[in-house]
Chain A
Amino acid sequence: MWKPASLLILTLSTITLAQSPQELVQDALQKQQAGDLAGAVPEYRQFLKIHPEATAIHSNLGAALAGLGRFEEAVAEYKIALKQAPSHTGTRLNLALAYYKMGRIAKATALLVRVHTEDSNNHQAVLLLGDCYLRMGQEKDVIRVLEPEIKTHPDDLAIAYMLGTAYIRDKQVEQGQVLVDRILRNGDSAEAHLMLGSAKMGIQDFAGARDEFAKAVALNPNLPEAHVLYAQALHLTGDSDQSIKEFKAELNADPYNFESNLQLGAMARQEQDYDEARRYFMRALKTRPGDPAVRYQLAAIALDLGKVDEARRELESLVKETPEFTEAHVSLSMAYYRLKRPADGKREREIVEKLTAEAQAKQPGAKAQ
């Protein structure tokens, strides 16, 4: 749904070394612009070995990695670029986008607020910020940032949907309805239904999303991501059988679709079909090397199969990289206990309790009374 905010074109006027680095980076740029992201990445990396100070190349590499779904690596590159050039709004927006795609909405929001402050005319930033606020249930913030936008972009359906949804959730139903009607008047396209479905997923209206995605798939079964989004909505509304069919339909079109491989692997693991699960997970890892969710699943399979030390190693690595990964702490605690390391198990268990308490404190019931 979202594309990187900017691709930085480096003129390399300052590079006066051998011809080869310049050719290298120009070739990488051409590949990136032509969509050959996998081809661009190694060339960027090679160039950065020689010129680690090339801020724009770090940013470009981040964009290429993000395009490949390798968000953790992309984030690392964007952070280097921002450290070297803290005022670069485009890189900050790209970093925010990477966090958004990783589901780390709070981090994305913080970055987007800064981008929006520095560049209030950045349409993509404000759209993304509105979506983040909506996902976090901050309707008044959605309204605050999107009301000016709808005036300058009255035909933008994404803005109309997000703002309309925020109005409705904020009990401003009549104003919301006006915008919903505007969306519905704009023809019946697969893309429109996909967008509406995505927005509904964002506000956890899973049944509404499911119906929108069903229409999108019916109108254009070849639309990228349509099957996988439909499958997710079906799964969330309890129709696992149909969900599996849709995930598989996505894989027929795109065998390396990350989400489909991850979800089908998780379902196979739930059925204790570990070989099948591993096949899906390994394919998912090819799309997103090092993805924490996939690595966790593989570690959990190892734990299930009694390969406790193998599981421990992977889980230790995961919690080091992602300290707030509660499930990994749970499994690591269990692994330590099984390895007769109760002190370590207890330590991990205490982390689980702390993370659980923190998550509970954010629930509305903690504030309702």
Chain B
Amino acid sequence: MNLTRRQWIWLASVFGTTQLVRGQEAFAQEPLFAEVPPSASGITWVHENAISPSHYLPEALGPGCAFLDFDNDGWMDIFLVNSGPSDFWKPTKPVRNALYKNNRDGTFTDVTEKAGVSGAYFGMGVAVGDYDNDGWPDLFVTAYGKCILYKNNHDGTFSDVTEKARLATPGWTTSAVWFDYDADGKLDLFVCSFVDYSGVKKLECGNNQLGKNYYCVPRVFKPTTSFLYHNNGDGTFTEVSKGTAIARAMGKGLGVVATDINNDGRTDFFVANDTVQNFLFVSRGPGANGRWNWEEIALQAGVGFSESGRPRSGMGVDAADLNGNGWQDLFVANVDHEMFSVYENNKDETFRDVAHANGVARSTRLLSGWGLKYFDYDNDGAIDLFLANGHPDDMIDNYSMQVKYKEPLLLFHQGEDRKLHDVSDQGGPAFQKYFAARGLAVGDFDNDGALDVLIGNNGAAPLLLKNNAAKGNNWLGLKLEGAQCNRDAIGAKIYWTAGGKKRFRLKNNGGSYLSSHDPREVLGIGTASKIDELEIHWPAPSKQIDRLTNLPLNQYVRVVENGGIREYQHAAASQHTSKAS
């Protein structure tokens, strides 16, 4: 039997793995995702969750993480968010974020101190974006306490420009996302606000059985309104949610993804809320009095509540054209027994939950999902799904028979039947382990065209997983560079044809939980030997359409709006060793 990896996974999902594993020792030796231990990566940083007997809720929610190329050398670096001083915790030893520079050999070097991104508050998540269009990624770090905007100085250092930028967002912020809502070519910023945790006396929730405090269910805390900042183009931002649906929506935001759910060319965004309904803010364009017109449609769209009309504990979230019909589908992860949702776009601003049909509901029934990502992990051209899980209550093992604090990772592969199949059993040893996972970022740290995965674990070391699943499939990596549109080209539409199949991807931003991803787009084409055509529809204001042919394969290229391919970035030597049969 000589199968491609994709075929093997599909057969395994249909017929079970036992008989397939016999005689397939090669796969057993090389898991789809291989753990890169700290001894190999040099990433020795460990998240400090500040866990206390009082069990203050912020302890349970971090950390986020990111892949970014902060020094523009073409190699993904890593940023990890840590907790820090707060009104309920004073660290007895130094606690800081971590920025790891990619050494281009599978190892990383901690450059945090030099870069000046240690943090100062009880950090939560990170959103990476080039807000000043200078070609260098900047960092926005959310926190319980105060957010920080780190501007990239182009020399390996960053400056805290939060106050100057007028982004000193108060309260407890979680996920954030950069996108250009008004199509003026500059990235704006949406920041999720969680609950009202202000005040000197923090609420403690006693536990009758163990006599210990446990993490309060967020239901007990007051909801808050999130923040939308307009980029003024001069290094400052203006909070513009006042008078819009965003200001009226009282939520407990944890996850956000910016996308276009109705294909009108305007960027919408979906917010996962904990214990209150989710929000789907649809952009209706410029409104009266200079305000942008946002409409919150989650209820009528069928993505606000459970199928029983109840709000759930929304945490991780993402969007992608899962079924290849040109429309963005959504995903939201909840806590155990609430079921995760795979929302298929009905093309009329409504969605239907197809989690059961995809086998996602059954696999996730006992799990609580945080970081997650829709991406094509094996470069066969179809979107797959990676989920990082962990129950928020660290004492859950004491009073639940089935639900555990540390939970396994899940990997779903999209089969020829266009359904997601749980292939976690084939994922590798990391999928047999249990984690208090929170943030999840995807990025190709070794430039082999296979998107790797980074997971932030609460109170523990991060998990770096090297992707081996894409070998044998061809790909092209795009680093899109906006000229008139925002430099990160958020909102660009990419169409490519290979092997007789035309595929589409919208360059969304955000997604997952507290985390930020490799900004490059990897286009998988399976075993096809060339990309016949590539079309890039740049977002407004230009709405330029670039058609590219004679494209290279299995390497990254830099594509400039209305400027074509400007630069080839050759992949790592180890990539693409063989073609599939």
Q: A179 to nearest B CB, angstroms? A: 15
Tell me whether A270 and B307 are in contact (CB under 8 A).
yes
Residues of B246-269 contacting chain A, CB below 8 A: 250
- Collect the chain B residues with CB atoms within 8 Å of residue A208's CB: 208-209
Tell me whether A237 and B308 are in contact (CB under 8 A).
no
- Collect the chain A residues with CB atoms within 8 Å of residue B570's CB: none
Q: Which residue of A lies closest to B221 (CB)?
A: A365
**B400's contact among A238, A326, A329, A366, by CB below 8 Å, is which?**
A238
Complex interface: stretch among A12-20, A42-50, A333-341: A333-341
Tell me whether B300 and A368 are in contact (CB under 8 A).
no
Bound-state CA distance A333–B399 (Å) is 37
- Collect the chain B residues with CB atoms within 8 Å of residue A352's CB: 299
Complex interface: stretch among B35-43, B193-201, B478-486, B502-510: B193-201
Tell me whether A238 and B336 are in contact (CB under 8 A).
yes
- The answer to whether the Cβ of A241 comes within 8 Å of any Cβ in the partner chain is yes
- The answer to whether the Cβ of A79 comes within 8 Å of any Cβ in the partner chain is no
Bound-state CA distance A128–B225 (Å) is 41
- The answer to whether the Cβ of A300 comes within 8 Å of any Cβ in the partner chain is yes
Centre residue among B203, B302, B307, B309 by max chain A CB count within 10 A: B309
**B299's contact among A207, A237, A330, A368, by CB below 8 Å, is which?**
A330
Tell me whether A356 and B400 are in contact (CB under 8 A).
no
Task: Give per-residue flags for A321-336: 1 if the beta carbon is below 8 A from chain B beta carbons, else 0.
Answer: 0000011111101100
- The answer to whether the Cβ of B154 comes within 8 Å of any Cβ in the partner chain is no
- The answer to whether the Cβ of B276 comes within 8 Å of any Cβ in the partner chain is yes
Task: Give per-residue flags for B294-310: 1 if the beta carbon is below 8 A from chain A beta carbons, else 0.
Answer: 00000110101101111
- The answer to whether the Cβ of A174 comes within 8 Å of any Cβ in the partner chain is no
Tell me whether B222 and A365 are in contact (CB under 8 A).
yes
Q: Which residue of B lies closest to A327 (CB)?
A: B309
Tell me whether B302 and A334 are in contact (CB under 8 A).
yes
Task: Give per-residue flags for A255-275: 1 if the beta carbon is below 8 A from chain B beta carbons, else 0.
Answer: 000000000001001111000
Q: A131 to nearest B CB, angstroms? A: 16
Tell me whether B196 and A207 are in contact (CB under 8 A).
no
Tell me whether B399 and A326 are in contact (CB under 8 A).
no
Bound-state CA distance A352–B111 (Å) is 50
- Collect the chain A residues with CB atoms within 8 Å of residue B195's CB: 365
Bound-state CA distance A300–B202 (Å) is 39
- Collect the chain A residues with CB atoms within 8 Å of residue B309's CB: 296, 300, 326-331
Residues of B217-246 contacting chain A, CB below 8 A: 219-223
- The answer to whether the Cβ of A363 comes within 8 Å of any Cβ in the partner chain is yes
Q: Which residue of B lies closest to A205 (CB)?
A: B208
- Collect the chain B residues with CB atoms within 8 Å of residue A238's CB: 336-337, 366, 396, 400-403
Given A270-B307, A345-B300, CB of A369 within 8 Å of CB of B198: yes
- The answer to whether the Cβ of A189 comes within 8 Å of any Cβ in the partner chain is no
- Collect the chain A residues with CB atoms within 8 Å of residue B203's CB: 364-365, 368-369
Given A327-B309, A330-B305, CB of A368 within 8 Å of CB of B339: no
- Collect the chain B residues with CB atoms within 8 Å of residue A269's CB: 307-308
Q: B46 to nearest A CB, angstroms? A: 29
- The answer to whether the Cβ of B501 comes within 8 Å of any Cβ in the partner chain is no
Centre residue among A304, A328, A357, A365 by max chain B CB count within 10 A: A365
- The answer to whether the Cβ of B529 comes within 8 Å of any Cβ in the partner chain is no
Tell me whether A266 and B399 are in contact (CB under 8 A).
no
Tell me whether A364 and B220 are in contact (CB under 8 A).
yes
Task: Give per-residue flags for A342-369: 1 if the beta carbon is below 8 A from chain B beta carbons, else 0.
Answer: 0001000100100011001001111011
Tell me whether B400 and A240 are in contact (CB under 8 A).
no
- The answer to whether the Cβ of B547 comes within 8 Å of any Cβ in the partner chain is no
Bound-state CA distance A368–B222 (Å) is 10
- The answer to whether the Cβ of B72 comes within 8 Å of any Cβ in the partner chain is no
Q: Which residue of B lies closest to A326 (CB)?
A: B309
Centre residue among A297, A329, A331 by max chain B CB count within 10 A: A331
Q: A207 to nearest B CB, angstroms? A: 3
Bound-state CA distance A206–B398 (Å) is 11
- Collect the chain A residues with CB atoms within 8 Å of residue B308's CB: 266, 269-270, 297, 300, 327
Q: Which residue of A lies closest to B203 (CB)?
A: A368
- Collect the chain A residues with CB atoms within 8 Å of residue B293's CB: none
Q: A366 to nearest B CB, angstroms? A: 6
- Collect the chain B residues with CB atoms within 8 Å of residue A304's CB: 307
- Collect the chain B residues with CB atoms within 8 Å of residue A271's CB: 356, 361
Centre residue among B216, B250, B299, B366 by max chain A CB count within 10 A: B299
Residues of A294-317 contacting chain B, CB below 8 A: 296-297, 300, 304
Tell me whether B302 and A368 are in contact (CB under 8 A).
no
Bound-state CA distance A306–B423 (Å) is 32
Tell me whether B300 and A334 are in contact (CB under 8 A).
yes
- Collect the chain A residues with CB atoms within 8 Å of residue B401's CB: 234, 237-239, 242
Given A331-B309, A363-B221, CB of A207 within 8 Å of CB of B399: yes
Q: A265 to nearest B CB, angstroms? A: 11
- The answer to whether the Cβ of A203 comes within 8 Å of any Cβ in the partner chain is yes
- The answer to whether the Cβ of A169 comes within 8 Å of any Cβ in the partner chain is yes
Residues of A72-91 contacting chain B, CB below 8 A: none
Q: B200 to nearest A CB, angstroms? A: 8
- Collect the chain B residues with CB atoms within 8 Å of residue A360's CB: 222-223, 276
**A270's contact among B199, B223, B305, B339, by CB below 8 Å, is which?**
B339
Task: Give per-residue flags for B384-415: 1 if the beta carbon is below 8 A from chain A beta carbons, else 0.
Answer: 00000000000010111111000000000000
Tell me whether A369 and B402 are in contact (CB under 8 A).
no
- The answer to whether the Cβ of B350 comes within 8 Å of any Cβ in the partner chain is yes
Task: Give per-residue flags for B203-217: 1 if the beta carbon is below 8 A from chain A beta carbons, else 0.
Answer: 100101100000010
Q: Which residue of B lies closest to A239 (CB)?
A: B401
Centre residue among A234, A238, A356 by max chain B CB count within 10 A: A238
- The answer to whether the Cβ of B493 comes within 8 Å of any Cβ in the partner chain is no
Task: Give per-residue flags for B413-442: 1 if the beta carbon is below 8 A from chain A beta carbons, else 0.
Answer: 000000000000000000000000000000
- The answer to whether the Cβ of B543 comes within 8 Å of any Cβ in the partner chain is no
Given A345-B300, A363-B221, CB of A237 within 8 Å of CB of B310: no
Q: B558 to nearest A CB, angstroms? A: 45
- The answer to whether the Cβ of B104 comes within 8 Å of any Cβ in the partner chain is no
Residues of B32-56 contacting chain A, CB below 8 A: none
Residues of B358-399 contacting chain A, CB below 8 A: 361, 365-366, 396, 398-399
Bound-state CA distance A365–B196 (Å) is 8
Bound-state CA distance A234–B336 (Å) is 14
- Collect the chain A residues with CB atoms within 8 Å of residue B350's CB: 338
**B300's contact among A237, A239, A337, by CB below 8 Å, is which?**
A337
Tell me whether B299 and A349 are in contact (CB under 8 A).
yes
Bound-state CA distance A238–B356 (Å) is 19
Bound-state CA distance A152–B287 (Å) is 71
Tell me whether B300 and A333 are in contact (CB under 8 A).
yes
Tell me whether B201 and A369 are in contact (CB under 8 A).
yes
Bound-state CA distance A360–B336 (Å) is 22
Tell me whether A334 and B209 are in contact (CB under 8 A).
no
Tell me whether B399 and A368 are in contact (CB under 8 A).
no
- Collect the chain A residues with CB atoms within 8 Å of residue B300's CB: 333-334, 337-338, 345, 349
Q: A248 to nearest B CB, angstroms? A: 18
Bound-state CA distance A345–B403 (Å) is 37
Q: Which residue of B lies closest to A329 (CB)?
A: B309
The 9 closest A-B pairs by CB, nearest first: A369-B199, A327-B309, A207-B399, A330-B309, A365-B221, A337-B300, A238-B403, A368-B203, A238-B400
List residues of chain B with CB under 8 Å of any chain A CB.
195-196, 198-203, 206, 208-209, 216, 219-223, 250, 276-277, 299-300, 302, 304-305, 307-311, 336-337, 339, 350, 356, 361, 365-366, 396, 398-403
Given contacts A205-B209, A238-B396, A357-B250, 20 further A-B contacts (CB under 8 A): A169-B208, A205-B208, A206-B399, A208-B209, A238-B402, A239-B402, A240-B402, A241-B402, A270-B339, A300-B307, A326-B309, A327-B309, A327-B310, A330-B305, A360-B223, A363-B220, A363-B222, A369-B198, A369-B201, A369-B203
Q: List 14 A-B contacts (CB under 8 A).
A: A207-B400, A208-B208, A208-B209, A238-B401, A269-B308, A297-B308, A304-B307, A326-B309, A327-B309, A330-B299, A357-B250, A360-B222, A365-B195, A368-B203
List residues of chain A with CB under 8 Å of any chain B CB.
168-169, 203-208, 234, 237-242, 266, 269-272, 296-297, 300, 304, 326-331, 333-334, 337-338, 345, 349, 352, 356-357, 360, 363-366, 368-369
